[in-house]
Chain A
Amino acid sequence: MTGAGGLLRFMLRRERFALPWWLAGATLLVLVQSTQSQNLYDTPEDLANLRRTLGGNTAVIAMSGPVRLLETIGGEVAFEILAFVSILVALMNMFLVGRHTRADEESGRAELVRSARVGRAATLAAVLGLALLANLAVAVLLFAVTAGTGLPPAGSVLFGVSVAAVGMTFAALTAVAVQVFESTRAAYGAVALVLGAAFVLRAAGDVGSGALSWVSPIGWAQRTFPFVDNRWWPLLVPVALGALLVTAALALLGRRDFGAGLVRPRPGRPSASPALGSPWGLAWRLQRGPVVGWAVGLFLLGAAYGSIGESIEQYVADNPEVAQFLPGGAADMINAYLALTMTTLALMTAAFGVTAALRARAEETSGRAEPVLATGTSRATWLASHLSVAVGGSALVLAAAGAGQGLAYGLTVGDANQVPRLLGVALGYLPAVLVVAAVAVLAIGWLPRAAAVVAWVAVAYCAVIALFAESFDLPGWLRRASPFAHTPQAPLEALTATPLVLIALVAVVVAISGYAGLRRRDVGY
């Protein structure tokens, strides 16, 4: 353990940019939910209505949590957000632990540290200390934001600590995973799989008898029933499991070589397949994982949105205040709901499009673009190869989202035609998504160092305009600058070709302008 204190201070310094964003994200998520819920259901009657409509909707329960939480308004907040904020905090812990352990070992940085007067277990001890501090911060911030928005303090404390307990469980789990796997990616993959399983198990448990929720870390947190029963004892499970996992991680660490894992990576192909013979093949190979991941993720989210479509009409009829958040008001309710959720899915696709376009810049700064550009590959081809993933991948992701929504909604209302209908609606957003990706290209060409910032500001801007323009009363010109403002809000509005073609043209012009910048500048700077 020698040197753990010094390492912890060093880690805190390395985390001074990334960690605050995670904490702010979690805090913001709960803040928005707490204020929104308290505005929507400010009377006991509203809450009783909600219990009646949601109590029987298995889709909502599967996405949120146990119905028992709906007894109080604080419980309603926990019902809606606890699972999601837990996932966010679990991911924060996974990256936190992985970054300072296996990733450092893989890059060779840890070798320098270990050659100093530092014990074998010092890094692990320091990173677990760091995770403890981070989760303590989560607990304090979530307490502050729930109690601060007027929820009872006793429940607020338990709410914060429950989320922190999920976080700590996943920190300990990642500590084990990084001993087992030789690569950071594999460790993240295993932990993410457990996280996904944790969500699915609690969903199955909450819909069914509840037994399965007890094998899920998220389930333990939800079953403290903060603001309803305020019971602390379920948290004994994550405490015991965490201690067990940390002991296991330390034991494994003492048995393995530096840089090695317990699972040896399989050897790969000795020569390239015919597909991997051009910059196009390379770009798709590099991004096929993310493309599949986003497509599956948005398919599931689309399915989740689609599955509650039917009960939305009923729900909004009971809660007229909700209607003001939907374009088109109370009339044509279901189409308005589908249009709003589709906009949300399209905005997420825009985020994918931006990551795919920014991949070109990442290749450049890492030095991996250099060997490619030193072959018979022109800059235009190289850029186009990465953009083909942004364009084709976005279309694929949107199609998956539309198919998911159409399938789930079609199943609940018994109408197979919903699949092609919502698929078409989803693809109608492709031009708008491509404009955002094109902005990333423009920045790569002319402001390469600021490209990531510019691109993500564009995504955030479109999200704010699309989702909050009505509530914030933003000036018209600011609203009209977003490509999403010009995309017909299908299926609420009819899809027409003219605006879509024009938006697509804008995307093409912006992307070509970006290439003009890339063509004349130095590569790698």
Chain B
Amino acid sequence: MNAANGPAIEIAGLTKSFGRSVALDGLDLTVGSGEVHGFLGPNGSGKTTTIRVLLGLLRPDAGTARMLGQDPWRDAVALHRRIAYVPGDVTLWPTITGGEVIDLLGRMRGGLHRARRDELLERFDLDPRKKARTYSKGNRQKVALVAALASDAELLLLDEPTSGLDPLMEAQFQHCVHQAKEEGRTVLLSSHILAEVEALCDRVSIIRLGRTVETGTLRELRHLTRTSIAVETAQPLSGIDALPGVHDLVVDDHHARFDVDTAQLDAVVRRLAPLGVRSLTSTPPTLEEMFLRHYGDEETPTAAAVAR
């Protein structure tokens, strides 16, 4: 849509506290126009607070936030016509049906596509005639998703949108996000489901305790991590443990398993080649591992090395 107009979201040094508890502590976040951006962090790390600031519901204590080139607090109403939002914990009006909620939210946002709405209802297998009171968490989430996806919004703010969906619906959701991306829309997808983020996102920001700890493309982030190698050679393996960047080495004569810092991969492969490689499997690092590194302090490389 307006891919050339600079980033869709630009947050710098954002701070927000509620009483004595600090929710955001100098958060930075940049989401490029047209990209699907993963927003990762454990519960309570500040994902929802960030999104609420972007919606103009919360007033930041310090720092700046711009969305689609406008100020989320001052220009809230103008901005809201260009975005769609799915809350993490969807609460609906108990006596109003799901279909009515979808239409209501769509109309208040400035219209929704009738055909796409019906297609989405089909896709998500949602009965629009039921009163919201009787919906399960997953169904309430579907109501909010259909309302958001059936709109014309340039930017989708999705706060853990799949936490109540089953794997089948999760696949439908991924299809819809791909579609949105093809249409040139920007998506901020907050999540703690790593497989989802790996499958969908161009770039990822990981936050913890209200601060951004890592940001980049999946490839860039993987660069910071290790690759797992399983190798079988013709000659007995030796000297691997002396190489820099090799961890958790298990050698069994001709077989070896180890992790290697991705930066040192080239040196290790050169050392292995003269030994006559019979088979080699290398597993790229998953976000899971990155996640553990950020949130499991005892898993840091130095600690692991000392333990050995």
A residues near B, CB below 8 A?
Answer: 106, 182-183, 185, 265, 267-273, 276-279, 281-282, 285-286, 366-368, 370-379, 520-525
The smallest beta-carbon distance between A389 and chain B, in angstroms, is 14
**CB atoms of A270 and B59 under 8 A apart:** no
Given known contacts A269-B99, A377-B108, is B133 in contact with A368 (CB within 8 Å)? no
- 15 more A-B residue pairs beyond the given contacts A271-B103, A371-B87, A374-B157, with a C-beta to C-beta distance below 8 A: A182-B134, A183-B94, A268-B129, A269-B99, A270-B99, A272-B99, A277-B104, A278-B107, A279-B108, A282-B104, A373-B80, A375-B108, A376-B77, A376-B108, A524-B52
CA distance A190 to B105 in the complex (A): 32
CA distance A493 to B44 in the complex (A): 61
22 contacts between A and B (CB under 8 A): A185-B95, A268-B129, A268-B131, A269-B100, A270-B97, A271-B103, A272-B101, A272-B102, A273-B100, A368-B93, A370-B87, A371-B90, A371-B105, A373-B56, A374-B87, A376-B108, A378-B76, A378-B77, A520-B59, A521-B59, A523-B58, A524-B52
The smallest beta-carbon distance between A290 and chain B, in angstroms, is 12
Among A277, A370, A371: residue with most chain B CB under 10 A: A371
Given known contacts A367-B87, A371-B144, A525-B18, is B105 in contact with A265 (CB within 8 Å)? no
The smallest beta-carbon distance between B154 and chain A, in angstroms, is 13
**CB atoms of B108 and A271 under 8 A apart:** no
What residues of chain B lie closer than 8 Å to A185, measured between beta carbons?
Answer: 94-95
Residue B92 interfacial (CB < 8 Å): yes
Within B125-143, the residues touching A (CB, 8 Å) are 127-131, 133-134
Tell me the nearest residue of chain B to A106, going by C-beta: B133
CA distance A268 to B133 in the complex (A): 12
**CB atoms of B100 and A276 under 8 A apart:** yes
**CB atoms of A376 and B110 under 8 A apart:** yes
Tell me the nearest residue of chain A to B16, going by C-beta: A522
Give the contacting residue for A375; candidates B109, B130, B131; CB below 8 A.
B109
How would you classify the secondary structure of chain B's contact residues: helix, strand, loop or mixed? mixed
The smallest beta-carbon distance between A298 and chain B, in angstroms, is 23
**CB atoms of B129 and A366 under 8 A apart:** no
Tell me the nearest residue of chain A to B137, going by C-beta: A108
What residues of chain A lie closer than 8 Å to B213, measured between beta carbons?
Answer: none
Given known contacts A367-B91, A374-B85, A375-B108, is B129 in contact with A269 (CB within 8 Å)? yes
The smallest beta-carbon distance between B120 and chain A, in angstroms, is 13
CA distance A190 to B128 in the complex (A): 27
CA distance A109 to B52 in the complex (A): 28
Given known contacts A276-B104, A374-B85, A376-B110, is B133 in contact with A366 (CB within 8 Å)? no
CA distance A271 to B105 in the complex (A): 12
Q: Mark B102-127, 1 if CB is under 8 A from A, else 0.
A: 11110111100000000000000001
Q: Mark B56-92, 1 if CB is under 8 A from A, else 0.
A: 1111000000000000000011101101010101111
CA distance A375 to B153 in the complex (A): 10
What residues of chain B lie closer than 8 Å to A376, measured between beta carbons?
Answer: 77-78, 80-81, 108-110
Residue B96 interfacial (CB < 8 Å): yes
The smallest beta-carbon distance between A428 and chain B, in angstroms, is 34
B residues near A, CB below 8 A?
Answer: 18, 52, 55-59, 76-78, 80-81, 83, 85, 87, 89-97, 99-105, 107-110, 127-131, 133-134, 144, 147, 157
What residues of chain B lie closer than 8 Å to A372, measured between beta carbons?
Answer: 105, 108
Which 5 residue pairs of A and B lie closest in terms of their CB atoms, listed nearest first? Answer: A272-B103, A268-B97, A267-B129, A375-B108, A277-B107
Tell me the nearest residue of chain A to B134, going by C-beta: A265
How would you classify the secondary structure of chain A's contact residues: helix, strand, loop or mixed? loop
CA distance A379 to B133 in the complex (A): 26
**CB atoms of B133 and A183 under 8 A apart:** yes
What residues of chain A lie closer than 8 Å to B133, measured between beta carbons?
Answer: 106, 183
CA distance A523 to B130 in the complex (A): 29
**CB atoms of A268 and B130 under 8 A apart:** yes
CA distance A53 to B127 in the complex (A): 62
CA distance A272 to B83 in the complex (A): 22
The smallest beta-carbon distance between A386 and chain B, in angstroms, is 13
**CB atoms of B96 and A285 under 8 A apart:** yes
CA distance A335 to B134 in the complex (A): 52
CA distance A285 to B83 in the complex (A): 26
The smallest beta-carbon distance between B25 and chain A, in angstroms, is 17
Tell me the nearest residue of chain B to A364, going by C-beta: B57
What residues of chain A lie closer than 8 Å to B108, measured between beta carbons?
Answer: 277-279, 372, 375-377
CA distance A379 to B77 in the complex (A): 9
**CB atoms of A368 and B55 under 8 A apart:** no
**CB atoms of A373 and B55 under 8 A apart:** yes
What residues of chain B lie closer than 8 Å to A374, measured between beta carbons?
Answer: 55, 57, 80, 83, 85, 87, 157
Tell me the nearest residue of chain A to B19, going by C-beta: A525
CA distance A185 to B76 in the complex (A): 36
What residues of chain A lie closer than 8 Å to B52, measured between beta carbons?
Answer: 370, 523-524
Give the contacting residue for A368; candidates B56, B91, B130, B157; CB below 8 A.
B91
The smallest beta-carbon distance between B206 and chain A, in angstroms, is 25
**CB atoms of A368 and B76 under 8 A apart:** no
**CB atoms of A524 and B104 under 8 A apart:** no
What residues of chain A lie closer than 8 Å to B91, measured between beta carbons?
Answer: 366-368
**CB atoms of B57 and A524 under 8 A apart:** yes
The smallest beta-carbon distance between B104 and chain A, in angstroms, is 5
What residues of chain B lie closer than 8 Å to A522, measured between beta carbons?
Answer: 57-59
CA distance A373 to B105 in the complex (A): 10
CA distance A416 to B290 in the complex (A): 82
**CB atoms of B80 and A377 under 8 A apart:** yes
The smallest beta-carbon distance between A360 and chain B, in angstroms, is 14
What residues of chain B lie closer than 8 Å to A286, measured between beta carbons?
Answer: 93, 95
Tell me the nearest residue of chain A to B97, going by C-beta: A268
What residues of chain A lie closer than 8 Å to B103, measured between beta carbons?
Answer: 271-272, 276-277
What residues of chain A lie closer than 8 Å to B110, measured between beta carbons?
Answer: 375-376
CA distance A375 to B107 in the complex (A): 9
CA distance A282 to B134 in the complex (A): 19
**CB atoms of A270 and B93 under 8 A apart:** no
The smallest beta-carbon distance between B123 and chain A, in angstroms, is 16
What residues of chain A lie closer than 8 Å to B102, measured between beta carbons?
Answer: 271-272
What residues of chain B lie closer than 8 Å to A276, measured between beta carbons?
Answer: 96, 100, 103-104
Give the contacting residue for A270; candidates B77, B87, B129; CB below 8 A.
B129
CA distance A512 to B80 in the complex (A): 24
What residues of chain B lie closer than 8 Å to A279, measured between beta carbons?
Answer: 108
The smallest beta-carbon distance between B155 and chain A, in angstroms, is 12
CA distance A367 to B91 in the complex (A): 6
CA distance A106 to B18 in the complex (A): 32
What residues of chain B lie closer than 8 Å to A366, measured between beta carbons?
Answer: 91
CA distance A215 to B203 in the complex (A): 72
What residues of chain A lie closer than 8 Å to B58, measured between beta carbons?
Answer: 522-523
CA distance A277 to B112 in the complex (A): 12
**CB atoms of B128 and A368 under 8 A apart:** no
Tell me the nearest residue of chain A to B51, going by C-beta: A374
What residues of chain A lie closer than 8 Å to B89, measured between beta carbons?
Answer: 367
Tell me the nearest residue of chain A to B49, going by C-beta: A522
CA distance A267 to B93 in the complex (A): 15
CA distance A378 to B129 in the complex (A): 29
The smallest beta-carbon distance between B296 and chain A, in angstroms, is 30
What residues of chain A lie closer than 8 Å to B99, measured between beta carbons?
Answer: 268-272
**CB atoms of B128 and A265 under 8 A apart:** no
**CB atoms of A272 and B81 under 8 A apart:** no
CA distance A206 to B138 in the complex (A): 54
Tell me the nearest residue of chain B to A369, going by C-beta: B57
What residues of chain A lie closer than 8 Å to B105, measured between beta carbons?
Answer: 371-372, 375
What residues of chain A lie closer than 8 Å to B130, measured between beta carbons?
Answer: 267-268
